[in-house]
């Protein structure tokens, strides 16, 4: 999953990005509202973590402009803790609102929840024939038998599963799995090959010249 964090406090931004990457998210960052809005409008994210008190454009303005073109889930992460602020954030198009100081496990849970809702996935389990994916535990099983995937292999499989029935371009898949900081070269092909080998089934279909698809 690919997440954009828009936060102007350097230490918090660095720590958030590190923690999210340790949870196997691909993370992009922005330190002001204008930069954040530009990235949010020009790239596809599974979710955005958005501060309110930002330079250049504040979080309210970022969300208002973003909602004119995109429905990307937005979780406000802010020190503004009044009821009026919470109501404004949610009524303005935010999907969740978390007040600083916060617990990382709660932020992760809220992100998982808004991503599931956005993908019209009511539960943490995705079932595709004999393959089951637990997005909360980040585990995969085939016919009830656990399958061990690396973090990147799991991220590729989960994203394709959430988009099942749709062809996902290589560019889109790169972005959601690797983010803007990594040199991926031909790693995507290697990971897809390993997923197929470990699952021992043809769940992922290659569409030549277009990308990948889970059709079941």
Query: What pLDDT sits at residue 170?
Result: 86
Three-state DSSP at 194 gives helix
Query: What pLDDT sits at residue 207?
Result: 85
Smallest CA-to-CA distance from 29 within 51, 53, 3, 58 is with 3
Smallest CA-to-CA distance from 64 within 39, 91, 29 is with 91
**What pairing do the DSSP bridges indicate for beta strands 204-207 and 211-214?**
antiparallel
Smallest CA-to-CA distance from 151 within 200, 108, 106, 187 is with 187
CA 155 to CA 26: how far, in whole Å?
9
Per-residue pLDDT of the chain (216 residues; tens, 9 = 90+): 899 999 999 999 999 999 999 888 889 999 999 999 999 999 889 999 999 999 999 999 999 999 999 999 999 999 999 999 999 999 999 999 999 999 999 999 999 999 888 877 667 788 888 999 998 888 999 999 999 999 889 999 999 998 888 899 888 888 888 876 555 557 888 999 999 999 988 899 988 888 899 986
Query: What pLDDT sits at residue 185?
Result: 58
Burial class (CB in 10 A: 0-12, 13-18, 19+), 8: middle
Query: What pLDDT sits at residue 85?
Result: 95
Query: What pLDDT sits at residue 116?
Result: 84
Half-sphere exposure of 33 (CA within 13 A, CB side): 16
Helix axes of 83-91 and 59-66: crossing angle, nearest 10 degrees: 20
H/E run at residue 57: none
């Amino acid at each position: 999953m690919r997440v954009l964090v828009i936060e102007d406090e350097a230490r918090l931004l660095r720590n958030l990005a590190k923690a999210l990457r340790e949870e196997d998210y691909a993370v992009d960052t922005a330190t002001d509202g204008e930069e954040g809005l530009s990235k949010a409008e020009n790239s596809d994210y599974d979710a955005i973590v958005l501060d309110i008190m930002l330079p250049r454009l504040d979080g309210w303005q970022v969300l208002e402009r973003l909602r004119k073109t995109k429905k990307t889930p937005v979780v406000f992460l802010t020190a503004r803790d009044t009821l009026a602020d919470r109501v404004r954030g949610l009524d303005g198009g935010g999907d969740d609102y978390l007040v600083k100081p916060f617990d990382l496990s709660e932020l992760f849970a809220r992100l998982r929840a808004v991503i599931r809702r956005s993908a019209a996935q009511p539960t943490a389990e995705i079932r595709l024939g004999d393959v089951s994916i637990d997005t909360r535990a980040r585990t995969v099983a085939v016919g009830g038998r656990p399958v061990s995937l690396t973090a990147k292999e799991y991220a590729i499989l989960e994203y394709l599963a959430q988009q099942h029935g749709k062809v996902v371009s290589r560019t889109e898949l790169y972005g959601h799995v690797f983010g803007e900081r990594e040199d991926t070269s031909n790693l995507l092909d290697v990971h897809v090959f390993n997923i197929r080998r470990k699952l021992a089934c043809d769940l992922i279909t290659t569409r030549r010249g277009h990308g990948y698809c889970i059709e079941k």
